[in-house]
């Protein structure tokens, strides 16, 4: 096993930018944004020293059960941005097989020019790659909500719903007849993505094939239900 094979992704990136044998450092300018996975956390200080902006989903602190709301929102935002980049990369690979195979060293010196040429060809001869619901308005919505309070979490904790005991019963067809009816766009807006919604039927089918005894249950709390909320002000405890 060579030294390169033993190093992780963070070490490889730092080595490549430091030695600059393939002139990769010349592809970027100060202020460029790196969208990275958590495996690159060790290289973040180095990228900052070079003047780059590194974005990585936050990690849980020691003994922390889950991310804080703002950190979780930040993680989702970065993941969505990385997903858009990956879609574009796969699109380029599907059109130019050169990028979908191992690239030899002598081609690395001109890789940036090849990539720019491929992009120019796509822009001129192909229709724009459009993603359903992926619009500037959605991007602004994500940015504006990233610091929002988790209203549902506050509601649950305020009324101690996570500490109540209930009587579980099988959910029938006629139960919750007054539950709001959602169209396909509603869960996509909640998840800010259609990916999970599209996979939901296959998840259910796989579960039913493995265990046809699966059923959905709901609980009727022993205590009277807490009042409904219409705004964040309703979450303030009674004085």
The per-residue pLDDT for 174 is: 79
Tens of pLDDT, residue by residue over 15-71, are 988 887 778 888 889 999 999 998 999 999 999 999 999 999 998 888 888 888 889
Strands 53-55 and 33-35: parallel
Dist. CA 42–CA 59, nearest whole Å: 12
Q: Which residue has the higher pLDDT, 190 or 106?
A: 106
Mean pLDDT of 114-141: 85
Other C-beta atoms closer than 10 Å to the C-beta of 3 total 8
Alpha helices in the chain (DSSP H): 3-6, 9-19, 44-49, 69-95, 105-108, 111-125, 136-145, 151-158, 185-191, 195-210
**Tokens read off for 122:** 């796509």
């Amino acid at each position: 096993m060579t030294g390169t094979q033993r190093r992780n992704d963070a070490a490889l990136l730092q080595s490549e930018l430091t030695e600059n044998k393939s002139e990769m450092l010349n592809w970027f300018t100060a202020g460029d944004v790196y969208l990275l996975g958590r495996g690159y956390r060790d290289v973040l200080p180095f990228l900052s020293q070079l003047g780059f902006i590194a974005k990585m989903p936050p990690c849980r602190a020691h003994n922390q059960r889950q991310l804080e709301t703002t950190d979780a929102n930040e993680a989702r935002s970065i993941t969505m941005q990385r997903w858009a980049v990956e879609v574009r990369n796969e699109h380029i690979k599907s059109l130019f097989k050169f990028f979908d195979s191992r690239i030899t060293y002598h081609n690395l010196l001109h890789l940036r020019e090849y990539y720019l040429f491929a992009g120019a060809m796509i822009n001129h001869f192909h229709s724009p790659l459009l993603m359903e619901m992926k619009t500037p308005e959605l991007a602004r919505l994500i940015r504006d909500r990233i610091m929002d309070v988790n209203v549902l979490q506050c509601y649950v904790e305020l009324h101690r719903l996570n500490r109540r005991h209930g009587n579980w019963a099988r959910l029938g067809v006629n139960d919750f007849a007054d539950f709001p009816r959602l169209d396909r766009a509603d869960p996509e807006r909640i998840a800010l993505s259609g990916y999970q919604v599209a996979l939901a039927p296959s998840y259910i089918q796989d579960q039913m094939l493995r265990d046809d005894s699966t059923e959905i249950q709901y609980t009727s709390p022993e205590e009277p239900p807490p009042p409904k909320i219409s705004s964040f002000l309703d979450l303030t405890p009674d004085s």
